[in-house]
């Protein structure tokens, strides 16, 4: 099987190790991965802020870049949700692009969705020594992926899984929200960090670079030594 | 001016700052919303077919809204057949005049009210008081709010922002005695004070949770029993409903009864479910002599014809408020409208003005917890984005913001420019970083670093490493 990787702009620029880990996990499972070089950003920031014409420009760019008909794997629920749920909506009245949007929506999968629901794999053969907890990214709720990442984590050898209080409460990232309302967003991420610290883990896992940069930035500010890891980074380890 | 606008068009940011700096408020909000949200989850989990039930409820609402005119006329006929009167109010002022007219005609001086957000929406109490009528709110929370001269800060727990101490203070001042700040004693005092009012009242005003078109029945859901007293003790009963509250059939009712209390508090049913079909009939021993139903439009039919129609499916259960991490931190008053929380952030701009409420659609991380909790699965995040989109077409929207997004799109659609941009960002930001993190971002990024560090761009992006990965 062959898939195309949509690495997301945040991972590309800020956390390339997430993309690398994703590639390694997929390859270990016998999946060939290619990386369409023209990819940039899926347009979600524009869409969420209401600039829908600009979002359509970026959506068309992404649709063109991934027009090869292959399965697309995204290590981010947020970008996957943009493609799966919002692209068809954005081109609702466009006879040319709507079918293309529907097509890409159908073959795009967030990483844990791809592993568990497409490949049917929960044990990816990973080993990670340590106590970790898991924060549920909000867009996984939108995609209906309520248990997939936890199921993957629980099959990692050596990993001690500690549930997080209010795990599915938003960390306060929300893209432009975090910059428009730093007070509210800051209060949210401070609470999230406090709950994480309470678990006594050495690392917190999430599936989205947005949540990770927010939570990591806050843990650092609090002087905490807890690491933040993308799910792929845990699944990568053997 | 629309009645939604009569509340302070206050400074949202300032209200937020105040709320965030108010630890007792924070504690009260967390306590209430955690309890109610736990209830919501428990309530939903208790039904095996909950998902199908919620979808079914949504279909009923969609259908009803598609044929709203027909069902409203059917409701009118059914109510009249039962001996009730029906009044149509196109806006808040008309609704107020209708209620005042009924009071005048029936010689009513003392009025008791059970909880009704719709009456808040039309600012009924000040109008009644200005006409020399005595109005008493009889829901305990609403009573406190009324005495304090405030507005409800939650759909179903209007006085959540009060503590036992502040309630004791307010009630003591009103009753002229010194009441202890104990829940039991305060409830007893409230009950004693309110019973008098029920006994003396000429007119009772209630809201409506559901109205069944085929039977002319109105349904009231409450936990305190005050709705029953309000609708049975006085001679006159006036029920005020937004036109979206109609349900076609008697058989639709159980679907919503199963959902409303579960969504709101987790109860299988609330303590009182009151079904009223017309006034007292010959030979009956209780009930009002006259029953009046006021059907309020107040912008609803306008919204019906927009992409925001889905907002009319709301049954005002408050679940989205409880689920919302933003509401939980800023409380209801910060929203500045009659309705608060996620659904308020849609209703206030829609019914008041998109231009005058620039913050509400943006003050959400779009986390979707509201939709997940909503009994009719209203896609609140989508509507917030829809409102943001409306704003971008409005004059007065910051040109800089528009330009920034537009420029970003121009860069991002050209991979070479994107790569160049990335390299520039790295050149600027990496020298400022310590161990790969920035403590202070320049420009608009300052807001980010107020609360947390920011990751500097990686020394080599993923795409620069891809070649080796191959
Ligand atoms: S939007 Fe949904 S959750 Fe919110 S009050 Fe209305 S019905 Fe309840």
What mean pLDDT is reported for chain A?
96
Burial code (b: 16+ CB inside 10 Å, e: under 16) for A139-159 equals: bbbbbebeebbbebbeebeeb
CA distance B149 to chain A (A): 27
Asked if pLDDT for residue B36 goes beyond 90, the answer is yes
Q: CB-based contacts of B302: which residues, under 8 Å, 6+ apart?
A: none
> Of all residues in chain B, what percent carry a pLDDT higher than 70?
97
CB-neighbour burial class of residue B283 (10 A; exposed 0-12, middle 13-18, buried 19+): exposed
Domain ranges of chain A: 2-117, 123-235
Task: Examine the pLDDT at B277 and tell me if it is beyond 60.
Answer: yes
Band of the pLDDT at B10, cuts 50, 70, 90?
low
- Write the residue in B366, B390, B455 that is nearest to A174 by C-beta: B366
ipTM for the complex? 0.95
Distance B375 CA to ligand 1 centre (A): 7
Q: What is the dihedral of CA B350, B351, B354, B360, to 10 degrees?
A: -70
B282 contact partners, CB below 8 Å, separation of at least 6 = none
In this complex, the residue of A12, A177, A185 whose CB is nearest that of residue B462 is A12
Find the residue in A nearest to B404 (Cα).
A46
**Smallest Cβ distance to A12: which of B368, B405, B463?**
B463
**Which chain A residues have a beta carbon less than 8 Å from that of B466?**
35, 37
pLDDT digits (tens, 9 = 90+) for B180-207: 999 999 999 999 999 999 999 999 999 9
Torsion of CA B244, B249, B251, B254, to 10 degrees: 20
Q: What is the pLDDT of residues A52-74, one digit of tens each?
A: 999 999 999 999 999 999 999 99
Yes or no, beta carbons of A218 and B451 under 8 Å apart: yes
Q: Identify the pLDDT of residue B445.
A: 84
Q: What is the pLDDT of residues B394-403, one digit of tens each?
A: 876 678 889 9
User: Does A188 contact B325 at a Cβ distance shorter than 8 Å?
Assistant: yes
Does the beta carbon of B320 sit less than 6 angstroms from any atom of ligand 1?
yes
At B122-131, the pLDDT tens digits run 999 999 999 9
Is the confidence at residue A227, as pLDDT, over 90? yes
Beta strands in A66-126, from DSSP E residues, in sequence order: 71-74, 108-110
The pLDDT tens digits for B120-177 are 999 999 999 999 999 999 999 999 999 999 999 999 899 999 989 999 999 999 999 9
CA atoms within 13 A on the CB side of B335: 32
Quote the mean pLDDT of chain B: 93
Quick one: pLDDT band at residue B31, thresholds 50, 70, 90?
very high
Distance B374 CA to ligand 1 centre (A): 5
| Residue B321 CA, closest ligand 1 atom number | 4
Q: Are B365 and A178 in contact (CB < 8 Å)?
A: yes
- Per-residue pLDDT tens digits for B335-356: 999 999 999 999 999 999 898 8
The stretch A29-40 carries a mean pLDDT of 96
- Residues 6+ positions from B269 with CB-CB distance below 8 Å: B257, B261
Pocket test for ligand 1, best of B54, B259, B263 (most atoms within 8 A of CB): B263
Q: What are the extents of the domains in chain B?
A: 26-32+62-301, 400-469
Among B274, B231, B216, B248, residue whose Cα is nearest residue B80: B216
CA distance A136 to chain B (A): 11
Contacts of A38 in chain B (CB under 8 A): 415
Partners of residue A50 in chain B, C-beta under 8 Å: 385, 387-392
Q: Does B17 touch chain A (CB under 8 A)?
A: yes
Ligand 1 close to Cβ of residue B98 (< 6 A)? no
- From chain A, the residues in CB contact with B450 under 8 A are 182, 186
Q: Residue B24: what are its φ and ψ, rounded to 5°?
A: -60, -40
DSSP-derived pairing of the beta strands A127-134 and A157-161: parallel
CB-nearest to B462 from A20, A50, A216 is A20
Q: Which residues of A touch B44 (CB under 8 A)?
A: none
Inspect the interface and report whether the beta carbons of A177 and B465 lie closer than 8 Å: no
CB contact under 8 A, B412 and A48: no
Average pLDDT score over residue span B422-443: 90
- Residues B150 and B165: their CA atoms lie apart, in Å, by 17
Going from the Cα of A206 to the center of ligand 1, the distance in angstroms, rounded, reads 29
Answer yes or no: is the C-beta of B161 below 6 A from any ligand 1 atom: no
CA distance A108 to chain B (A): 20
Report residue B291: phi and psi, to 5°. -125, 125
CA-proximal residue: ligand 1, atom 8 (nearest) = B317
DSSP helix, strand, coil percent of chain A (3-state; round to 5): 50, 15, 35
What percent of chain A shows pLDDT beyond 90?
Answer: 99
Rg of the Cα atoms in chain A = 17
The pLDDT of residue B199 is 93
Domain A123-235 in this protein, CATH class: alpha beta
What is the CATH class of B26-32+62-301? Answer: alpha beta
């Amino acid at each position: 099987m062959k898939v195309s990787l949509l690495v997301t702009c945040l991972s590309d620029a800020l956390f390339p190790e997430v993309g690398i880990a994703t590639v390694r996990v997929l390859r270990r499972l016998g999946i060939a991965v290619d990386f369409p070089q023209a990819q940039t950003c899926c347009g979600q920031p524009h869409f969420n802020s209401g600039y829908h014409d600009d979002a359509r420009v970026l959506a068309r760019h992404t649709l063109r870049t991934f027009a090869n008909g292959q399965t697309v794997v995204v290590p981010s629920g947020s970008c996957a949700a943009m493609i799966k749920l919002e692209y068809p909506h954005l081109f609702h009245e466009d006879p040319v692009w709507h079918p293309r949007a529907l097509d890409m929506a159908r073959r795009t999968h967030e990483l844990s969705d791809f592993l568990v629901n497409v490949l049917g794999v929960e044990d990816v053969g990973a080993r990670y020594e340590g106590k970790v907890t898991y924060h549920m990214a909000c867009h996984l709720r939108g995609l209906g992926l309520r248990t997939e990442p936890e199921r993957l984590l629980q099959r990692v050898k050596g990993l001690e899984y500690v549930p997080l209080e209010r795990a599915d409460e938003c960390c306060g990232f929300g893209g432009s929200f975090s910059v428009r309302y730093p007070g509210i967003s800051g209060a949210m991420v401070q609470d999230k960090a406090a709950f994480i610290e309470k678990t006594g883990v050495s690392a917190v896992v999430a599936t989205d670079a947005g949540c990770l940069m927010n939570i990591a930035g806050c843990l650092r500010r609090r002087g905490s030594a807890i690491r933040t890891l993308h799910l792929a980074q845990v699944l990568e380890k053997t | 001016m629309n009645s939604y606008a009569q509340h302070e068009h206050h400074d949202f940011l300032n209200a937020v700052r105040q709320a965030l700096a108010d630890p007792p408020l924070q504690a009260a909000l967390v306590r209430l919303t955690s309890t109610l949200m736990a209830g919501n989850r428990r309530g939903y989990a208790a039904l095996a077919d909950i998902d199908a039930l919620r979808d079914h409820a949504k279909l009923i609402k969609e259908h009803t809204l598609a044929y709203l005119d027909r069902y409203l006329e059917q409701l009118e006929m059914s109510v009249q057949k039962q001996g009730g009167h029906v009044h149509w109010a196109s806006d808040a002022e008309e609704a107020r005049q209708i209620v005042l007219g009924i009071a005048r005609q029936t010689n009513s001086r003392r009025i008791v009210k059970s909880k009704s957000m719709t009456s808040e929406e039309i600012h009924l109490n000040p109008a009644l008081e200005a006409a020399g009528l005595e109005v008493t709110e009889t829901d305990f929370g609403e009573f406190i709010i009324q005495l304090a001269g405030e507005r409800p800060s939650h759909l179903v727990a209007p006085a959540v922002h009060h503590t036992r101490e502040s309630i004791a203070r307010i009630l003591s001042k009103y009753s002229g005695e010194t009441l202890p700040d104990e829940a039991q004693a305060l409830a007893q005092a409230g009950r004693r004070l309110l019973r008098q009012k029920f006994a003396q009242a000429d007119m009772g005003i209630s809201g409506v949770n559901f109205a069944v078109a085929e039977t002319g029945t109105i349904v009231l859901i409450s936990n305190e029993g005050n709705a029953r007293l309000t609708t049975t003790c006085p001679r006159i009963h006036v029920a005020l409903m937004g036109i979206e509250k109609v349900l076609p059939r008697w058989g639709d009712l159980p679907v919503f009864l199963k959902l409303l209390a579960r969504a709101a508090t987790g109860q299988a049913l609330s303590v009182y479910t009151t079904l009223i079909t017309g006034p007292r009939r010959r030979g009956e021993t209780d009930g009002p002599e006259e029953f009046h139903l006021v059907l309020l439009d107040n912008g609803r039919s306008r919204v019906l014809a927009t992409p925001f129609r889905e907002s009319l499916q709301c049954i005002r259960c408050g679940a989205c408020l409880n689920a919302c991490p933003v509401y939980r931190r800023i409380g209801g008053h910060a929203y500045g409208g009659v309705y608060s929380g996620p659904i308020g952030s849609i209703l206030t701009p829609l019914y008041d003005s998109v231009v005058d409420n620039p913050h509400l659609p943006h003050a959400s991380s779009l986390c979707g917890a509201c939709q997940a909790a909503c009994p009719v699965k209203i896609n609140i995040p989508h509507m917030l984005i829809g409102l943001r989109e409306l704003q971008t077409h409005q004059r007065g929207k910051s040109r800089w913001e528009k330009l920034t997004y537009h420029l970003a799109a121009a860069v991002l659609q050209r991979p070479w420019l994107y790569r160049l941009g990335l390299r520039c960002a790295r050149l600027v930001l990496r020298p400022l970083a310590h161990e790969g993190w920035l403590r202070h971002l320049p420009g608009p990024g300052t807001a980010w670093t107020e609360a947390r560090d920011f990751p500097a761009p990686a020394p080599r992006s993923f795409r620069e490493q891809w070649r080796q990965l191959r």
